[in-house]
Amino acid sequence: MPLYVCLVPSQYKRFIELIWERGAEDKFSGKYAAVITTSIHFFDNTAHNYMRGICEDLGMKFAGSFSPDMYDIMQEDGRAKLLAFAENVFNTVQKKKATAKAFFKPDYNMKKYTSGAAGMSADSSGKRVLILSDRTYTGDNVAAMIDRMKTCFSGNAELLSLSDVDIKGGCLGCCECGFDYRCVYTGKDEFIDFYNEKLKKADIIIFAGEIRDRYLSAKWKQMFDRGFFNTHTPTLKGKQFGLLLSGPLAAVPNLREILNAYFQWQGANLVDIVTDEYSSPEIDSLIDNLAENLVADAEKGYVAPPTFLGVGGMKVFRDDIWGRLRFVFQADHKYYEENGIYDFPQDDLKTIEINNNMIKLTSNPDMRENVRKMIKVEMVKPMKHVVENK
């Protein structure tokens, strides 16, 4: 499959859901499986972890995975690697080799959550709060968590379900949006208007849903995929996000990494994720704290600095939009130019000059030894100045 937003496309996710919904697990059990994706390596690792986990949950024997760049097959070395991978898979199957398991099967049965007395409400006046679910929940843990969250804001919190938005289908990967963000679905359903009018105009957004099949629902995946009409341009920058999830998140760390990666490259602030893996009083406290922190961070305009997930992911986009994908994704290129995304180190002329001079200076053995002893002190000196004087 192609790689869409750190995972399989939403259409493929729906197929996986149907396996369990229709009790067809035995059709896969005991069979060998291999995974091939194509991408530009933007979190292909999480997509492969997901598929391996699904295969193992189905009782399949995982024979390997292959993650080439989308143009690797054009090179002789890329074709050779694909053939070698195929040979290994067929050899594993023909010899009926044993395969190792990488993941434990999660237990999706959560204890019932019952909300207690309402706590203090966070003053959200002046902020647009949106609680978005993938479907309408009633009488279950997600419904109870949503109800609790709504009472945590003194201002009005809008509750909306993706099931109430007319979405004709998933992303088709046609890339027609690359020139000017105009999607092939434009004017054919409600998704683009929903994204622009609800998501982009909210200050505080809470996603609510269930963990099933090691991810959220196919409807959630459809939303993430369809958001690609904005291509590789971050459109949720500066927004505050919280998640209310029913399911064993602690047993699916791959999902947490996907969620962190998504919000970080968007330039948004993921305040916290609350699940029903705790006792009811603990869940109450966690939801109350989440609401308070969402409002506090919104008032300060706080966005946590990105980790490797956000920095590395954005550099993948930066390099490919600057290079081979610029023609196709001209809208991204324009945004990246105007917003300083093209922060290539080779463009920093001052640093280049300093490095060249210091390399020449330390070509002298005596000078090299003197400088070696000064490196730590000189690296710390500017930070020390800031701490002591700012």
**Does residue 346 carry a pLDDT above 90?**
no
- Of 289, 308, 327, the position where a domain reaches its end is 308
**Does residue 96 carry a pLDDT above 90?**
yes
Residue, of 168 and 376, whose pLDDT is higher: 168
Categorize the per-residue pLDDT at 92 as very low, low, confident or very high, splitting at 50, 70 and 90: very high
Percentage of residues in the chain with pLDDT exceeding 90? 91
Instruction: Please compute the mean of the pLDDT values over residues 251-266 and round it to a whole number.
Output: 98
- Of 260, 281, 308, the position where a domain reaches its end is 308
Q: What share of the chain is helix, strand, coil (3-state, %, to 5)?
A: 50, 15, 35
**Does residue 63 carry a pLDDT above 90?**
yes
Q: How many domains does the chain have?
A: 3
| Same domain, residue pair 161 and 250 | yes
Residue that is written with structure tokens 């463009």 in the block? 347
Q: What is the pLDDT of residues 156-207, one digit of tens each?
A: 899 999 999 999 999 999 999 999 999 999 999 999 999 999 999 999 999 9
| Same domain, residue pair 186 and 301 | yes
**Does residue 372 carry a pLDDT above 90?**
no
| Same domain, residue pair 135 and 225 | yes
120 within a domain of the structure (yes/no): no
Query: What CATH number should be reported for the domain holding residue 164?
Result: 3.40.50.360
- Helix orientation angle between 365-389 and 349-361, rounded to the nearest 10 degrees: 140
- Of 68, 94, 120, the position where a domain reaches its end is 94
320 within a domain of the structure (yes/no): no
Res 119: pLDDT? 84
**Does residue 89 carry a pLDDT above 90?**
yes
Domain range spanning residue 368?
346-389
Res 373: pLDDT? 87
| Same domain, residue pair 193 and 143 | yes
Residue, of 355 and 204, whose pLDDT is higher: 204
Res 378: pLDDT? 87
Res 13: pLDDT? 98
Categorize the per-residue pLDDT at 374 as very low, low, confident or very high, splitting at 50, 70 and 90: confident
Res 347: pLDDT? 80
216 within a domain of the structure (yes/no): yes
Q: What is the pLDDT of residues 204-246, one digit of tens each?
A: 999 999 999 999 999 999 999 999 999 999 999 999 999 999 9
194 within a domain of the structure (yes/no): yes
Res 200: pLDDT? 97
As a whole number of angstroms, the distance between CA 40 and CA 69 comes to: 5
Instruction: Please compute the mean of the pLDDT values over residues 267-294 and round it to a whole number.
Output: 98
Structure tokens at 44: 């292909």
Res 212: pLDDT? 94
**Does residue 275 carry a pLDDT above 90?**
yes
146 within a domain of the structure (yes/no): yes
Instruction: Please compute the mean of the pLDDT values over residues 304-309 and round it to a whole number.
Output: 97
Q: What is the pLDDT of residues 101-148, one digit of tens each?
A: 999 999 999 999 999 998 889 999 889 999 999 999 999 999 999 999
**Does residue 306 carry a pLDDT above 90?**
yes
